[in-house]
Amino acid sequence: MSAAPLVEAVGLGKRYPVLGHRGDRVAALWDVLRGRPARRYTQVLEDVSFAVRPGESLAVIGENGAGKSTLLKLVTGVLTPSSGTVSARGRIGALLELGAGFHPELSGRDNVRLAAALYGLEPRMLAAKLPEIEAFADIGAYIDEPVKHYSSGMVVRLGFAVIAAVRPELLVTDEVLAVGDENFQRKCIRWIDGYLAGGGTLLLVSHSMYHVQKLCRRALWLDAGRVAMAGDVFDVSQAYLAAQEAKQPAAEAAPAAARGGDVVIESARSNGDESATPLLLEPGATLRHELVLAVRDGRAPVAMFGWLRADGTPVYGVSSEIDGVPGEALGDGRFRFVVEFPALPLLPGNYRLRSFALDAEGLRLFDQREREITVRGESREFGVVRLPHRWNP
């Protein structure tokens, strides 16, 4: 018998009255006093249902304005639903908006004490954990300064440090880690990995599909406030990416990566050829792709490869982190990755093979290369790949 959900939403909905015109506020107040729904309103969420059980990890994905942040606020009790129900149990650690829960006039240390009390930590336990919180936040003497003097990154550091010390049963986070500096983001990703490995439960909102797939097992795709798809994280995230790809011209499909930085692609060879000319392959040929990455800090980076059709349709993607391949250390901060695609099942046509260079945590994309691949031949088959099949009598 499975454990009872830590979070369960049934037919959840949220709407706000429209207050853009003169008299709207009075009309909305009058509707509230009479116990009636607003006559003019914006539906932010509608009929959203899901459950998160102990030890599970669920990502909420979707475009800006899809209702993701509103959903997390309903889960954590910051907002009340307009329809449906949502219930949560256990100790919840929430990182929603910058500065949420912190008093700007109080010092960081006093805010830590206040947050610890709200999480139910006794003074003796807090005294034991305070050095751990200070070390994790790593904001130095600013711990005794008013929070109103903090940068956005320092606020995130302090908030996450409290969460790390408390280790809640459920962690709810809404993209706030994107504000912190890279070293702190790496620290947080490592902590979340350990938290999940230890049986923690995660409800995550993120626009980074790489981290959605890395940290979560399931995903919920919101589109204009409704559930577009829910299920396995790879199925849902890939369907979402395909929908986003379809909205962009093929020339704009690839994100611009900043050339240079902590990780750089030193060389990229396809079947031993490093030129920029299109590579011609016969149907069923083998492609051997070699990538050499140079890093500043000497730590093994992450290499990622993605196949796309000429019109930008994603075909396949994989990374060294996914397959657990550390890369061959060549010395002087250089690492070599070799991936082989035997007997390519691609149908004749034009394709692009993209190579990506990421840091050791797979947190930041620093460099990318692209090689055009042409599979020669003629075929009346449909689609992108040739699937093995047979006709039975």
- Cα(93)–Cα(173) distance, integer angstroms: 8
* Residue 346 belongs to some domain of the structure: yes
Q: Are strands 314-319 and 302-309 parallel, antiparallel or unpaired?
A: antiparallel
pLDDT of residue 37: 60
pLDDT at 63 over 70: yes
Instruction: Identify the burial level of 362 via C-beta atoms within 10 angstroms of its C-beta, where 0-12 means exposed, 13-18 middle and 19 or more buried.
Output: buried
> If you ran DSSP here, which 8-state letter would residue 178 be given?
G
Sign (positive or negative) of CA dihedral 158, 164, 168, 173: positive
Residue-wise pLDDT for 175-229, tens only, equals 766 666 667 777 888 888 889 989 999 999 988 877 788 888 999 999 999 999 9
pLDDT at 100 over 70: no
Q: What single string gives the DSSP state of each residue in 19-77? A: --STTHHHHHHHHHHTT---SSEEEEEEEEEEEE-TT-EEEEE-STTSSHHHHHHHHTT
Confidence of residue 45 (pLDDT cuts 50, 70, 90): very high
pLDDT of residue 165: 86
Q: Which domain holds residue 370?
A: 263-375
Q: What single string gives the DSSP state of each residue in 116-177? A: HHHTT--HHHHHHHHHHHHHHH--GGGGGSBGGG--HHHHHHHHHHHHHHH--SEEEEESGG
Report if pTM > 0.85. Answer: no
Instruction: Identify the burial level of 170 via C-beta atoms within 10 angstroms of its C-beta, where 0-12 means exposed, 13-18 middle and 19 or more buried.
Output: buried
- Buried-exposed string 219-256: b where 16+ CB fall within 10 A, e elsewhere: bbbbeebbbbbbeebeebbbebeeeebeeeeeeebeee
Choice between 68 and 253, residue whose per-residue pLDDT is larger: 68
Confidence of residue 31 (pLDDT cuts 50, 70, 90): low
* Residue 306 belongs to some domain of the structure: yes
Helices 182-197, 152-166: inter-axial angle, 10-degree rounding: 20
Evaluate whether 52 touches 196 at the Cβ level (below 8 Å). no
- Cα(225)–Cα(70) distance, integer angstroms: 9
* Residue 329 belongs to some domain of the structure: yes
- Cα(388)–Cα(393) distance, integer angstroms: 17
pLDDT of residue 126: 84
Residue-wise pLDDT for 240-256, tens only, equals 877 876 676 543 444 43
- Cα(226)–Cα(50) distance, integer angstroms: 12
Residue-wise pLDDT for 147-167, tens only, equals 888 887 888 888 888 888 888
Using a pLDDT cut of 90, give the percent of the chain over it.
30
pLDDT of residue 71: 92
Return the minimum-mean-pLDDT range out of 44-53, 63-72, 91-100, 148-157.
91-100
- Buried-exposed string 104-134: b where 16+ CB fall within 10 A, e elsewhere: eeebbbbbbbebbeebebeeeebeebbeebb
pLDDT at 233 over 80: yes
Tokens of 205: 């909102």
CA 383 to chain centre: 29
Domain count, the chain: 1
* Residue 217 belongs to some domain of the structure: no
- Cα(180)–Cα(153) distance, integer angstroms: 4
* Residue 299 belongs to some domain of the structure: yes
* Residue 267 belongs to some domain of the structure: yes
pLDDT of residue 98: 59
* Residue 330 belongs to some domain of the structure: yes
pLDDT at 25 over 80: no
Q: Which residues lie across from 358 on neighbouring strands?
A: 302, 365
Confidence of residue 357 (pLDDT cuts 50, 70, 90): very high
The predicted model gives 273-291 an average pLDDT of 90
CA 45 to chain centre: 21
pLDDT of residue 289: 95
Nearest CA to 238 out of 221, 216, 257, 215 is that of 221
The CATH number of whichever domain residue 317 belongs to comes to: 2.60.40.1930
Residue-wise pLDDT for 114-126, tens only, equals 888 887 778 888 8
* Residue 105 belongs to some domain of the structure: no
For all residues of the chain together, what is the average pLDDT?
83
Choice between 318 and 101, residue whose per-residue pLDDT is larger: 318
Confidence of residue 55 (pLDDT cuts 50, 70, 90): very high
